[in-house]
Amino acid sequence: MTRVRVTAPRTILPGSGALPAARSAADSRDAAEESDAGQVFVRSLIRSQLRLAVVVAAGFLLILVAFPLMLGLVPGLAESTIAGLPFDWVLLGAGIYPVIGLSAWLYIRTAARNEARYRDLVGDK
């Protein structure tokens, strides 16, 4: 199967009557993907993003599983209350949302760093 690229038609710059001379970031990225080294860079980016997603998901699930285990293994913790609310409800209600936010923040920050490294390797500005 051959690779087919669908692109928008090139437009003429208003007032100049000429095609744009500078290559866009997408053009240089496409050129990098067509070379052997570019394909290695793309595969490396995909692997690093997949590894990041698996690590963040596994860490989040580990923390999520640790909450019920802690409630079951620590005697009397499930029966205790904070401000009249059961501790397990407070733990799940107020404890899990910061974990979700932290996981999302770490994922976005690291994914952006991975993509910036890829752009540096490809040569995009």
**DSSP letters of 54-103?**
HHHHHHHHHHHHHHHHHHHHSTTTTT-EETTEEHHHHHHHHHHHHHHHHH
Q: pLDDT per residue over 74-111, tens digit each?
A: 888 878 888 888 888 888 788 888 888 988 999 999 99
Task: Confirm if 32 and 113 have CB atoms less than 8 A apart.
Answer: no
Q: pLDDT per residue over 5-39, tens digit each?
A: 777 666 655 555 544 544 455 555 565 566 777 78
Q: Identity (one letter) of the amino acid at 51?
A: R
Say what the pTM is.
0.61
- The pLDDT value recorded for residue 97 is 85
